[in-house]
Structure 1
Amino acid sequence: MATLQARKGKKNTTYRVEFMREGKRISKSFKIKKDAQKFMALLLVDNDLANSLTNHILTTLSFFEAVTKFLDQDTGKDPSKHQRLKHWVSIFGDKPVGKVTRPQIKEELKILSNEKAPATLNRYKAAIGSLYAYLSDEFDIDYNPVKGIRQYTEDNARTRFLSDGELSSLFSSAKNSKWDQLYLLILMAVTTGARRSEMLTLKWSDINFKAKTAHLPNTKNGEQRILTLTGDVVTELMRFRNIEGYIFPHPNIPNNYFRNFDIYWQSALRTADIKDFRFHDLRHTCASLLAMNGASLLEIAQVLGHKSITMTQRYSHLCVTHKAKLTDRVFGGIING
């Protein structure tokens, strides 16, 4: 129950709102009565606001400390989530987690929208949302400032893929890279359709050379997946074969995987004179090559690890030639039947 008190001073009158929550008395003063009344009204309808003002964890645990705790126990394989949470730390720092509000997050997302794509903005929102979901489970608090922020509409229509000439040039420049494993990484990306983080976090124990497979224990979709490896990939893997550790270790820190190899990737693109191309587009290149060589949408979805074939529909126009051959084979002589 909240109460409103008018407190007359020598120069002016202030208005104090008091309320009890979980045995703790909280008060907040306002210079204008309407502001105090508005605050009281919010307390009645916004349970998150009341919690954020009274819960011990929400008022004492800093955002920085919360992120540190979260990342220490996080077993996910998405390095971008760590980077995005560190961005939020740069914004909220030592602010108590209960003082981080929905308007503040929306404002920062608005600023980021000047240079980030809608899909990326949704990832930034999801990162901070996962932090508060962790806090809810760990400390039994009911507060998530991301709740109610709408998703940005994503444009998933981009299907940039390499032509035969571009692919040949990229392979050639990668073979001459100062990082001797760049060619292997690109070759694996094109022939398996695996995501960047899935390949970088692979360990030698995940490889079955006899079966020519790589086991992905934890993918983006939360499911295990088996990659089939071509003979060329296996041959290239043999050059670096080790008993344990990451397949793509950091050159200076062998116990870590090589997360940020982008300087070598960008150099290879420049040498090959390839423009407007992202590493993720190698995944599109894999799918496009499969489509243009007769693979069905279901087969492409299986290779890429799509949960829903809806994501695979973007490659349907590349299956036209295959579909034309199929219908001609099946129905070409129907009138003579």
Structure 2
Amino acid sequence: MSFRKQSDGKWLLDFYPEGKPKGKPAKRIRKTFSTKGEAIAYENHVMENIHIKPWLDGKEDRRKLCDLVTQWFDEHRVTLDDGEKREGTMEFACLSMGDPSAHEFDATMFSNYRKKRLSGEIARTARVKQVSPRTMNLELAYFRAVFNELKRFEHWKLENPLLNVRAFKSEEAERAYLEYEEIEKLLEECLKSRNDSSYWVASLCLATGVRWEEAESITTKRIKNLKVSFFKTKRNKNRTVPISNNFFDSLPKPEKPGRYFNPCYSDFRKAVERAELDLPDGQLSHVLRHTFASYFMMNRGNILILQRILGNTDIKMTMRYAHFAANHLEDAIRFKPLERKK
């Protein structure tokens, strides 16, 4: 019973806002009032605002948003290659939003933060780089994942506050590839580097379509029977790509088992500068992967095979190269209206 009149004439309000579960602690409110009407009004006020002050194991949940990020990171860091990067990104976002409590955080708060981030307001005050819509889409995905994962394990009982927030529509980034003359010029410049590993790593990227870091860290155990195996990749997909006999014979063989190449990314960057290649932002070494995929399709390769070689989980990622297919280009000429009219 919620209300009870006491011997002194006052009314006692005694109830559990979220109900009393069996065998578990729960928030209990006991409060006295001069009249029954005051007690009823207070109970109604508590129930109307329970979503603002939710309860956790019988106590008011006072966790900060950054506490949820830390809890998510502690429980899931082993499953993510970029867990520390995500945690750092979200901690910066929490501070930029004023270090809110978890239950104050909502779509409006994130939307205002996103607007300030894109306008450069936060960049000027915090002395960080201004970000793109794509970066903010990633942050939106990070926070959504935190609430979804904690809700899955019953560490968060309410709905995901960003459930209905839409990501920005962003233009597909330009994906450049190298012409034959540019490939030769780049490899020539790599050979001029003090560290010739840059030449061989670039060549391996062009021969297999792998990412720079995957090629640079290749070991003797992973090249066998004219096949190169890649493990612990970006998408956590193990894959094997064949190489030609000539390419394998030309590779410098280490004197003892271990890594084939020395770290050489800075040498590659300088080689690109000397070759005077005009590349889109963020595609310094990735242009080698794009070049492999583009020529694969231009030479009538199967797009499903390309997906397996690149290790793309989603075929949509591989379909970005479909327009390079030879028959695609031929059909654009054969089936245009003027040709049909002739």
TM-score category, normalised to shorter length: 0.5 to 0.7
Q: What is the CA-CA distance between 1:308 and the residue it aligns to? A: 4.7
Output one character per residue of 1:73-100: Cα deviation in whole Å (capped at 9) or x when no partner. Answer: 5245644x63343122123256555554
The within-5 A match list for 1:174-185 is 174-177=190-193, 181-185=197-201
The within-5 A match list for 1:1-337 is 20-21=17-18, 23-24=26-27, 43=49, 51=54, 54=56, 59-60=62-63, 63=66, 66-67=69-70, 70=73, 73-76=76-79, 78-79=81-82, 82-93=84-95, 96-113=101-118, 115-137=130-152, 140-142=155-157, 144-156=160-172, 158-177=174-193, 181-196=197-212, 198-199=214-215, 204=219, 207-217=222-232, 219-220=234-235, 223-231=237-245, 234=248, 238-240=252-254, 243=257, 261=265, 263-277=266-280, 278=283, 279-320=285-326
* Cα 1:61/1:109, change in 2 over 3 Å: closer
* Cα 1:185/1:232, change in 2 over 3 Å: farther
Q: What is the CA-CA distance between 1:214 and the residue it aligns to? A: 1.0
The aligned counterpart of 1:33 is none
If the length of structure 2 is used for normalisation, what is the TM-score? 0.62
Q: What is the CA-CA distance between 1:281 and the residue it aligns to? A: 3.0
Equivalent-residue separation in structure 1 for 2:234 and 2:254 (angstroms):
24
- Contact 1:71-1:82 within 8 A present in 2 as well: no
The aligned counterpart of 1:8 is none
Report SS of the residue matched to 2:171. Answer: coil
Consecutive unaligned residues of structure 1, counting only runs of 5 or more, are 1-18, 27-38, 252-257, 329-337
Equivalent-residue separation in structure 1 for 2:251 and 2:79 (angstroms):
25
Output one character per residue of 1:98-146: Cα deviation in whole Å (capped at 9) or x when no partner. Answer: 5544333333333444544443332232233333444345563235443
Equivalent-residue separation in structure 2 for 1:130 and 1:243 (angstroms):
41
* Cα 1:111/1:179, change in 2 over 3 Å: farther
Give the residue type in structure 2 aligned to 1:130.
Answer: A
Report SS of the residue matched to 2:321. Answer: helix
The aligned counterpart of 1:34 is none
- Contact 1:181-1:248 within 8 A present in 2 as well: yes
- Contact 1:179-1:264 within 8 A present in 2 as well: yes
Which has the higher mean CA deviation after the structures are superposed, 287-296 or 310-319? 310-319
Give the residue type in structure 2 aligned to 1:192.
Answer: T
Report SS of the residue matched to 2:230. Answer: strand
Which has the higher mean CA deviation after the structures are superposed, 314-323 or 276-285? 314-323
* Cα 1:241/1:86, change in 2 over 3 Å: farther
Output one character per residue of 1:10-38: Cα deviation in whole Å (capped at 9) or x when no partner. Answer: xxxxxxxxx93573369xxxxxxxxxxxx
Equivalent-residue separation in structure 2 for 1:153 and 1:288 (angstroms):
25
* Cα 1:116/1:60, change in 2 over 3 Å: closer
Equivalent-residue separation in structure 1 for 2:317 and 2:69 (angstroms):
34
Equivalent-residue separation in structure 2 for 1:76 and 1:183 (angstroms):
34
Give the residue type in structure 1 aligned to 2:141.
Answer: A
* Cα 1:20/1:216, change in 2 over 3 Å: same
Output one character per residue of 1:220-252: Cα deviation in whole Å (capped at 9) or x when no partner. Answer: 2x54322334557646765457645x7778x6x
CA RMSD of aligned residues (A): 4.4
Q: What is the CA-CA distance between 1:189 and the residue it aligns to? A: 2.5
The aligned counterpart of 2:123 is none
Q: What is the CA-CA distance between 1:207 and the residue it aligns to? A: 0.8
Aligned residue pair count:
280
- Contact 1:187-1:233 within 8 A present in 2 as well: no
Give the residue type in structure 2 aligned to 1:20.
Answer: P
Determine which structure has more spread, i.e. the larger CA radius of gyration: 2
Output one character per residue of 1:39-64: Cα deviation in whole Å (capped at 9) or x when no partner. Answer: 989857xx6x554x757796346626
Output one character per residue of 1:192-225: Cα deviation in whole Å (capped at 9) or x when no partner. Answer: 222456556x5638614234221335552x5432
Give the residue type in structure 2 aligned to 1:88.
Answer: M
